[in-house]
Amino acid sequence: MFKEGQVKLAIAPIGWTNDDMPELGGTVTFEQCISEMALAGFSGSEVGNKYPRDPVILNKYLSIRGLEIASAWFSSFLTSKPFEETAEDFKVHRDFLHAMGAKVIVVSEQGNSIQGQMDTALFENKPVFSEEEWTVFLDGIQRLGDLAAEKEMKLVYHHHMGTGVQTTEEITRLMEGTDPNKVSLLYDTGHLVFSGEDYLEVLTKYMDRIHHVHLKDVRADVAQKVRDEKVSFLQGVKQGVFTVPGDGLIDFKPIFKLLSEANYEGWFVVEAEQDPAIANPFEYAVKARKYIRENCGL
């Protein structure tokens, strides 16, 4: 299905230690995490809170295990702080990723976001940008895209539950309101399905803008419970709303087919944040690796 070298497979450390809730997997060591990634058959990783931030040191730990850095998350605050504050932090993040050899920078707008609030009902309180916020956001995100381009990197925007860019309509407004040379899209299956979006429609519509993919599956019963019982995003994660591809409700075969037909090049990152005390991260990494091999030959 995919040609040799077209797609590389990574897994995010969030299944071992959760950046949004560091108490999940707090005792799991950095070396256990990256060793298990490699042992499960992955060749890349994103960056978690236990990773050394010195590129030389980090590279030493990773290269011995045959791992590379695919990218790392960056929180922008374009709608809630002066642009220069976000830009300064972004440049530090960009330069670190550039030194690690990454080609894409994951960005998500966290101004007014409720994703990090433990007791805020997710579906009832999702922020909706005002017209003024959209103007500031669309301008700022393109300026960050210019900063990424200075290092020949791409900004891949992460649509996300509990933020101002979650729904198909909001993704459409972002895509239509930005220059494709400045802003690309990160396609995260789990967030689209949890939000109730038509994930194949988004994939088809913005295929040429997608330059990074997060493979995340959703447990249907937990997702429904989050809606019915007005649970927060973080509580939903703790209750197990997300899991690895092949373990939830999403059929990834049409996703793989469409991406391969469109000659997608880049990373697939398995990203399944769960409580590692309940869902053993190594076991789930192996499960994900097997599902990918069996369903797209990678």
Ligand X SMILES: O=C1C[C@@H](O)[C@H](O)[C@@H](O)C1=O
Site residues for Co ion per CB under 5 A: 188, 214, 271
Shortest reach from residue 16's CB to Co ion, in Å? 15
d(CA 236, CA 219): 10
Q: Least distance from C-beta 75 to ligand X, angstroms?
A: 9
If the CB atoms of residues 84 and 119 are measured against ligand X, the closer one turns out to be 119
Contact partner, 103, from ligand X, Co ion, none, Cβ < 5-8 Å per class: none
Burial (CB count within 10 angstroms: exposed 0-12, middle 13-18, buried 19+), residue 229: exposed
Q: Radius of gyration (Cα) for the chain, nearest Å?
A: 18
Interaction of residue 36 with ligand X, rule CB under 6 A: no
Q: Which is nearer to ligand X, 78 or 122 (CB)?
A: 122
| For helices 30-39 and 281-296, angle between their N-to-C axes, nearest 10 degrees | 30
Question: Torsion-angle region of residue 163: left (phi > 0), alpha (psi -120 to 50) or beta?
Answer: beta
CB 106 to Co ion: min, Å: 8
Say whether residue 247 binds ligand X (CB under 6 A).
no
| Contact call for residue 20 and ligand X (CB under 6 A) | yes
Stretch of 13-21, 31-39, 140-148, 254-262 contacting ligand X, by CB under 6 A: 13-21
Q: Are 73 and 158 in contact (CB under 8 A)?
A: yes
User: Please, which residue, 153 or 272, has the CB nearer to ligand X?
Assistant: 272
Q: Least distance to ligand X from the beta carbon of 19, Å?
A: 5
Judge contact between 217 and 248, C-beta under 8 A.
yes
How many residues in the shown chain lie near ligand X by CB under 6 A? 11
CA distance 99 to 91: 12
Name the minimum Å distance from CB 9 to Co ion.
Answer: 15
Can you tell me which of 159, 209, 214, 289 binds ligand X, judged by CB under 6 A?
214
Q: Which of residues 133-192 bind ligand X (CB under 6 A)?
A: 158, 188, 191
Q: Could you identify the residue written with the tokens 């899209």?
A: 185
Which residue of 15, 19, 203, 291 would you call a contact of ligand X, by CB under 6 A?
A: 19
Q: What is the DSSP string of 156-225?
A: EEE--TTSSS-SHHHHHHHHHTS-TTT-EEEEEHHHHHHHT--HHHHHHHTGGGEEEEEE-EE-HHHHHH
Is residue 270 within 8 Å of residue 16, measured between CB atoms? Answer: no
Of the listed pieces 12-20, 95-103, 129-137, 140-148, which binds ligand X according to CB under 6 A?
Answer: 12-20
217 binds, among Co ion, ligand X, none (CB under 5 to 8 A by kind): none
Minimum distance, C-beta of residue 131 to Co ion, in the bound complex (Å):
28
Q: What would the x/- binding string for ligand X be over residues 61 to 80, using CB under 6 A? A: ------------x-------
Under DSSP, is residue 44 helix (H, G, I), strand (E, B) or coil? Answer: strand
Taking the complex as a whole, the smallest distance from the CB of residue 263 to ligand X amounts, in Å, to 24
Per-residue CA distances from 172 to 129, 177, 178, 204, 205 (Å): 14, 8, 10, 12, 9
CA angle 80–82–84, rounded 5-degree value: 135
- Pick 7 or 213: Cβ nearer ligand X: 213
* Residue number, 178 or 189, with CB nearest to ligand X: 189
Chain residues in the site for ligand X (CB under 6 A)? 14, 19-20, 73, 115, 158, 188, 191, 214, 271, 273
